[in-house]
């Protein structure tokens, strides 16, 4: 019984992989592929719209995230400057960058966007986009 379930699981994941491969040729597949690993993330086209919708309400001059931490994300320069304590983006290292670390619930205490409960996080797709941008060197592209 157990083995059958395992086999069933393996079959299912193969089917899912095939579906993914088939998808690559469509426009939606392309967008998914770009969120998942291939293709370069653009600061202007991909990152900034996310910051605009989910971060700037607090992280622009006068906002409470800015007042508390000094982090102003209205521009590339502001984001790279970080908080009053230093950078939040370490180019190439999305695991250690506070900018991307605080998006998931793995950090006790602080989570961004601020005020979301334990179950609430930024859309996974957006988290992946921000992480990939950092991994690719956090370029002003």
The binder of ligand HEC chosen from 47, 71, 134, 138 (CB under 6 A)? 71
Q: How far is 109 from 84, CA to CA, in rounded Å?
A: 19
CB atoms within 10 A of CB 87: 15
| 55 is an interface residue for ligand HEC by CB under 6 A | yes
Contact 103, 122 (CB under 8 A): yes
CB of 94 to ligand HEC, least distance (A): 12
Q: How far is 66 from 57, CA to CA, in rounded Å?
A: 9
Site string for ligand HEC, 92-121 (x = CB under 6 A): ------xx--x---------xxxx------
User: Which one of 8-16, 30-38, 52-60, 131-139 is the stretch in contact with ligand HEC (CB under 6 A)?
Assistant: 52-60
3-state secondary structure of 86: strand
| 47 is an interface residue for ligand HEC by CB under 6 A | no
Q: How far is 105 from 119, CA to CA, in rounded Å?
A: 8
Alpha carbon 76 to its chain's center: 16
Q: Which residues contact 6 (CB under 8 A, 6 or more apart)?
A: none
Closest to ligand HEC by CB, 20 or 85: 85
CB of 100 to ligand HEC, least distance (A): 8
| 68 is an interface residue for ligand HEC by CB under 6 A | yes
Closest to ligand HEC by CB, 23 or 136: 136
Token readout for 31 is 């967008």
Q: Which residues bind ligand HEC (CB under 6 A)?
A: 54-55, 57-59, 64-65, 68-69, 71, 83, 88, 98-99, 102, 112-115, 122
């Amino acid at each position: 019984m157990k083995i059958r379930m395992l086999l069933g699981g393996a079959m299912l994941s193969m089917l899912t992989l095939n579906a993914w491969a088939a998808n690559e040729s469509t426009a939606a597949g392309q967008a998914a592929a770009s969120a998942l690993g291939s293709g370069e993330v653009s600061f202007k086209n991909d990152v900034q719209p996310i910051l605009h919708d989910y971060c700037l309400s607090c992280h622009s001059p006068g906002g409470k995230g800015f007042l508390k931490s000094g982090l102003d994300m209205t521009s590339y320069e502001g984001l790279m400057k970080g908080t009053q304590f230093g950078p939040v983006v370490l180019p190439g290292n999305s695991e250690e960058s506070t900018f991307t670390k605080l998006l998931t619930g793995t950090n006790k205490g602080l989570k961004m966007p601020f005020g979301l409960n334990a179950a609430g996080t930024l859309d996974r797709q957006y988290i992946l986009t921000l992480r990939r941008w950092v991994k690719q060197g956090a370029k002003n592209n």
